[in-house]
Amino acid sequence: MLIRAGFEITYDCPVPTPMNLLLSVRPERLPDLVTTQRITASGRVHLRQYRDLFGNIANRLVAPAGPTTFRADFVIEDSGLPDPITADAVQHPVEDLPDDVFPFLLGSRYCETQLLSPLAWSLFGQTEMGWERVQAIVDHVHDRISFGYQHARPTRTAAEAHEEQHGVCRDFAHLAVALCRCMNIPARYCTGYLGDIGIPPVDAPMDFSAWFEVYLGGAWRTFDARHDTPRIGRILMAHGRDAADVAITTSFGTAWLTKFEVVTEEVSQNQYAESALERA
């Protein structure tokens, strides 16, 4: 399967403003690129690429006063298969976890494990350890939170999402991550592209998406508490402890968002060939 993905995002800054971008696909997906993934900024803005603490590909820049537009448009190959279900994936004892996995057991900015632990153990303490326990957490979060863009609030924590019972995809992910960590299951927050592929058309603008991964059976496994069903065509951009680690843009000063468009769609080989001819 071929997927066309990209974005056009514009910020307007009153003065030159340092910014950080996490808009590249993860290094593991770079070999799947069919076309070059080139992130550009309007004007003569220089982007300096680096790897952050979690191995994500990031870009630093100083946006000039006035509008700056960031763009990318690429085609990537995907298996076309839904998220795998590995029902026999086991939960590891904490003492057996790899050192690089262990930090994803700890509380973080938006995932208050100490606050939520009594709730988590009361809800899931009797469920089977491993995949079944994570799925029970996903089902609970999916049923507990009502999705709506009008409910977006960048400061909402996992505990607040559970109490308020509404939010957007990041709130679903934060609550599920926090509850998993409370049950001694390493969990990390993920952000990336997720198109409306293999599902009925959705009457809403395309956006980036948030989901999460847990460490079971010696590998990281994908779960999505908002949709609560395996999906096709995820393109991971970044992962971290929570949204504070993987914000798609971070500005160190005032930056007004004036345009935000995301594209994620399946394309046929013929469509790709025609597009390539047009570019040539």
Mean pLDDT for the stretch of residues 174-203: 96
Mean pLDDT of the chain: 96
Looking up residue 75, the CATH number of its domain turns out to be 2.60.40.2250
Task: Please check whether residue 267 lies inside any domain of the structure.
Answer: yes
Task: Check pLDDT > 60 for residue 280.
Answer: no
Task: Please check whether residue 132 lies inside any domain of the structure.
Answer: yes
Helices (H) and strands (E) in the chain, counts: 5, 14
Q: What is the pLDDT of residue 213?
A: 98
- 143 and 207 share one domain: yes
Mean pLDDT for the stretch of residues 20-26: 98
- 254 and 225 share one domain: no
- 64 and 186 share one domain: no
- 36 and 141 share one domain: no
- 177 and 255 share one domain: no
For tokens 């058309």, the residue is 201
- 100 and 73 share one domain: no
- 218 and 108 share one domain: yes
- 263 and 192 share one domain: no
- 12 and 99 share one domain: no
Tens of pLDDT, residue by residue over 73-126, are: 999 999 999 999 999 999 999 999 999 999 999 999 999 999 999 999 999 999
Tens of pLDDT, residue by residue over 209-246, are: 999 999 999 999 999 999 999 999 999 999 999 999 99
Task: Please check whether residue 241 lies inside any domain of the structure.
Answer: no
Residue 18's domain comprises 2-79+247-279
Q: What is the pLDDT of residue 276?
A: 62
- 187 and 260 share one domain: no
Token pair in block for residue 167? 């939010």
> What's the pTM value of the predicted model, to 2 decimals?
0.95
- If one counts the domains in the chain, the total is 2
User: What are the distances in angstroms from CA 269 to CA 33, 195, 197, 230, 276?
Assistant: 14, 18, 16, 25, 10
Tens of pLDDT, residue by residue over 30-63, are: 999 999 999 999 998 999 999 999 999 999 999 9
- 226 and 252 share one domain: no
Task: Please check whether residue 238 lies inside any domain of the structure.
Answer: no
Name the helix (H) or strand (E) containing 120: helix 113-124
How far is the C-alpha of 59 from the C-alpha of 61, rounded, in Å? 7
Q: What is the pLDDT of residue 277?
A: 53
- 113 and 224 share one domain: yes
Task: Please check whether residue 205 lies inside any domain of the structure.
Answer: yes
Looking up residue 148, the CATH number of its domain turns out to be 3.10.620.30
